[in-house]
Structure 1
Amino acid sequence: MTSNKSSKEYLLSAGVVVVRRCDDTPRYLLLRAFSYWDFPKGMVEPGEDPFQAAQREVWEEAGLRDLVFRWGKDFQETPPYGIGKIARYYLAESLNGEVELHINPRLGRAEHEEFRWVDVAGARRLLVARLQPILSWADGLVRRGTDGRP
């Protein structure tokens, strides 16, 4: 189900909760910048579709292009944070999971210092409270499978 929250009043960033199966256990990709863990995401550029922005950000930040959006274009958004910003997340599976932290030309370094593929319990420990509902939404969909059944 698509969120009904309006993003018109906020700065919108878009990203993807990326999952892959390891030994039948869903593992989620988290990226660390300083001491903050998040899913791959970034600002939607003027004239850019949020879904396209989310895919671009996963490529720029984690080097992943093999995303399969098994759950369609449904998304969840965070409540407003920072200076009037919200983050919209889609859910996709990565088939190979080979992450590469690309150099950001503006920064002269990668935007993130570390990545981890973690199970849901590990993700809960690392993510801030604002991202916990996003993780719960994604993990619920993943555990139900592609056809909505457990």
Structure 2
Amino acid sequence: MLSSGVVIVHRNAVAQSARSTAAEPQWDCRVLLLRAYTYWDFPKGGVEEGETPFEAAKREVREETGLVDLTFDWGEDFRETPPYARGKVARYYIAETNSQAVVLGVNPLLGRAEHHEFRWATLDEAIRMTVPRLQPIIAWARQLTGC
């Protein structure tokens, strides 16, 4: 079974000191993590019939977080986790957002929010907070985004 999700990146420019000689802007990059019980993960969910995995990923973000202003500068490039939990595979895309206003949506089947909390985490924090199968996804996001 395939689930599809998005590593959502939010960047803030960091003020450089007057003595800094860096020509490149410095960024404070954060990724959105959602917690269900004790597990932190990126927004994701199942691919519905008639839907592409990319469409499913965007829908899941909208349903689980309320975020709609995603830009997919890296297109539909993705990475997948190794199989876990009875052969499930999670596919992740990368997008950026200018918004940090997350609203944990209510799952109509559950009658409550699917997640207990959200956090905008640095990539280093994300590595510490998530399960090992997500480590290659986080490394890929770091490489692609330059965060």
Scaled by the length of structure 2, the TM-score of the pair is 0.89
Other structure's SS at 1:31 match:
strand
Q: Which runs of 4+ in 1 moved over 2 A?
A: none
Shift of 1:112: 0.3
Question: 2:70 is matched with which residue: 61, 67, 71?
Answer: 67
Partner of 1:29: 32
Matches within 5 A, 1:1-150: 11-22=1-12, 23=14, 24-143=27-146
Question: Aligned partner of 2:55: which letter?
Answer: Q
1:97, CA displacement in angstroms? 2.1
Equivalent residue of 1:65, what SS?
coil
Bigger-Rg structure (1/2): 2
What SS does the corresponding residue of 1:68 show, helix, strand or coil? coil
Percentage identity across paired residues of the two chains? 60
Structure 2 unmatched ranges of 5 or more: 15-26
SS at match of 1:92: strand
State the SS of the aligned residue for 2:6.
strand
User: How far does the alpha carbon of each residue in 1:12-43 deviate from its partner, in whole angstroms, 9 at most, with x for none?
Assistant: 00000000013421100000000000000000
Q: Which runs of 5+ in 1 are unaligned?
A: 1-10, 145-150
The CA distance in 2 between the partners of 1:94 and 1:113, in whole Å, is 22
For the 8 Å contact 1:19–1:27, the answer to whether it is kept is yes
Q: Retained in 2: the 8 A contact 1:29–1:117?
A: yes
Aligned residues: 134
**2-structure distance, mates of 1:125, 1:101:** 23
Please state how far the C-alpha of 1:84 moved relative to its aligned partner: 1.2
